[in-house]
Structure 1
């Protein structure tokens, strides 16, 4: 006698897999999501039902993200997971909230992930205001109070500039904005040399215009002592090293990993490396942790949308980077892991494939 297999529990997975999205980040995110889903199924799935990822490409486009949420809701997914780009994640979160669909956002950091407080949306990545304040503190400790930002127009970059200015100004620091879209790299170097800032931060897309700007600054003798930084994490990915080589070293960026991996983190790192054929980024770990949290939540509370959303404050899951618990920090509209480990890292000039930890965030109370 044949038996009908139980229907899968579906999770909708959002990731930027085509341009203009950052496809390398999307590939790492998806690798983490898929690895954790495979391990969940090897461990019995969800009460004997297989866990199935239904992947949709957002291409970093808010409209595509909204359409993907509608599509996935129509397919009866239990929850949404993923997304890297803040503008796409914000659109997905708003649509998921309107539909009553729980969404665990993996990597997008924009503080205002939703316009109003909601329990349907939770997030693993630290809020931008938390991470970028850590970066500003690193700049001040390193003696860089006069900072220039080469920025492109976007809500995310504008928010980052505001966070940096608010953190630096009370301590006597300044932030000068240079339009990375209007100024070609040579003109940007001229403006930086004339202004006298000691640090230039890349608030730009990758590879363009970030790569041409780095090359121009590195080759300008007037700027030999200027620190180049990339708080959004562009140097984390292998493509940065392959495109820039030694020019891409000594460029500090934010990295959401502990200085020393946990035992689970070390095991997952090895599995992700084999899957990706490269060093996994922190984004891959965020993807893995997302499905790990959702697996335990679904096993404990079932697939009802409201039950999942209500469970966020009671979730305690051991992730690759520590114990994951959700709270509602001040001025954050979603349930938030407060906080993942945050460090400022760069690539070692002596060996650009190797990372150096320059600064770590102190333990901070979630409400601050």
Structure 2
């Protein structure tokens, strides 16, 4: 508080920067200048009001100065007492109040926490808030200080190391198993999916530790199966592949008694051999091939003709029943018909022919 007295006036008080009186001096000065106790009481009351106003004015002046620093830092060289943030013996920045320093430390932690299920957060370094003398232009606001710190933390040597431990929930796909089943309906080497597999879903809760937002470790603390995987079932063929080309090594179609061989028979040539066997006896294909004819054929009765490739054919006549159709592939040994007595026949038997390049041959020359 500054007081100045003017001659010719009983009393007057003004704020001034020239005279600085102590508290006791001020009271003595006031009492000497006022003869009346009444005036003294009035003056003292007024003085107290002025004193309070002065404190408010000075407080506002300081506040305006501090607030003004952020807009005029480059022009302000005055030194003030501020609050420095000291990290491992190094001051990384200074702010105007202690609360601002505390708020900065909270904000740097919050930056790396975000919206996580936080278990723990800590700063690795030794951090202190201390009073420092600095130029006003060196003061930082929290926004700039946070921005600079984060930028430096992304480099090799971070200013502050913030370690967070948090829970993270992740969904994990569970692979399905594949099961194989044999199938006589498919040829060897063929596969077909009977049941399509489906991945399961597992929910894991992980404890993740990060340094400045970068993951350094991860540990599964619990897991829960949300959906079990469904096994895929694959059918694998076991049926032998049928070739349309014969092997050239024929087998006897049935086990029967020879009743008529190949060759001349009376006035004509018998084009095959007759093998007697009970009606219904299974007849087998002599070799691999394609059925060229399956049906009723005049004196042959129910007959099958098989093309074995390379000009080779075999004929099976007088059958009671046919089991294959025209165009069908057959393998050596497949049952193609049953012995019968159809067409021109004197009893149940198989008439069997071998034809090579359009000429009938003795089947016994090709049976191995």
Instruction: Output the TM-score relative to the length of structure 2.
Output: 0.19
Q: Which has the higher helix share?
A: 1
Query: Whose strand fraction is larger, Structure 1's or Structure 2's?
Result: 2
Higher relative contact order (CA 8 A, sep 6+): 1
Instruction: Choose 1 or 2 for highest CA Rg.
Output: 2
Q: What TM-score results when the alignment is normalised by the length of structure 1?
A: 0.19
